[in-house]
């Protein structure tokens, strides 16, 4: 469900004080992305390409006229998100920096640090339940989709208090499950809803390093709406990896 529109197409300016536009960006590439190793909430560093992707994303925000409008750059407290956000903040002169731990990646528990190929069966058992709309099963020693959605949506609300235009640097898994929650209007899921065209597109969409979702939060109504999911940022998007672990 990668939109071909630009980040500014069809986007009305948020109403002063009542709405906040969130530019939700995935961190740049890491060496574990290259290896296909599950990062989860383990701390890993950006690769050289990951740093270049973050710089490219910042240049794209400048080119679109958004960098100067950014009031804050908020990230998870994991190194790969912190460094991506720090690089982007260099082109956002008015943007303050802060960390929100609730923006961390899915906690994959006992399978963190292992190669995807080593734990494919265990991972798919849990993931298949989530795909059917059963968000309660959790990874051993880790989280359920319900856990991820609850803390992720709470963290996006917290980030929205930082200004009318906020860059949020987070992780692929959290981006995907918060997108599902927003399209469900934060209501309970079901196999029928998860099988809909919109949900199927979101679940199959590529979430590449430094891709951007644009979400507007209406503070008065306490409601999110999307202006575009998982859009590629910058000229390095073609080399970015889709690996939400």
Indicate which residues carry an active-site annotation. Answer: 27, 105
What's the angle, vertex CA 216, arms to CA 211 and CA 220, rounded to 5?
Answer: 155
Q: What are phi and psi of 82, to 5 degrees?
A: -60, -50
Element (H, E) at 83: helix 79-89
Q: Which two tokens stand for residue 195?
A: 């099988």
Diameter of the chain measured on Cα atoms: 50
DSSP state of 239: G
Sheet with 96-99, side-by-side order of all strands: 96-99, 72-75, 165-170, 19-26, 212-218, 223-231
């Amino acid at each position: 469900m990668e939109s071909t529109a630009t980040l500014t197409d069809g986007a009305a300016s948020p109403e002063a004080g009542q709405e906040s536009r969130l530019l939700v960006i995935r961190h740049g590439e890491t060496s574990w992305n290259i290896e296909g190793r599950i990062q989860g909430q383990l701390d890993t560093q950006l690769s050289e390409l990951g740093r270049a992707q973050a710089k490219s994303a910042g240049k794209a925000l400048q080119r679109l006229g958004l960098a100067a409008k950014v009031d804050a750059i908020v990230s998870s407290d994991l190194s790969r998100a912190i460094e991506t956000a720090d690089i982007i903040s260099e082109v956002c002169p008015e943007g303050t920096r802060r960390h929100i731990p609730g923006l961390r990646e899915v906690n994959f528990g006992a399978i963190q640090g292992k190669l995807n190929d080593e734990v494919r069966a265990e991972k798919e058992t849990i993931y298949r339940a989530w795909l059917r709309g059963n968000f309660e099963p959790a990874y051993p020693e880790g989280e359920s989709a319900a856990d991820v959605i609850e803390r992720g949506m709470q963290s996006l609300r917290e980030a929205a208090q930082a200004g009318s235009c906020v860059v949020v640097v987070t992780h692929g898994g959290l981006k995907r499950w918060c997108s599902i929650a927003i399209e469900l209007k934060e209501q309970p899921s079901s196999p029928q809803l998860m099988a809909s065209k919109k949900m199927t597109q979101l679940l199959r969409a590529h979430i590449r390093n430094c891709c951007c979702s644009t979400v507007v939060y209406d503070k008065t109504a306490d409601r999110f709406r999307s202006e575009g999911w998982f859009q590629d940022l910058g000229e390095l998007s073609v080399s970015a990896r889709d690996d939400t672990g």
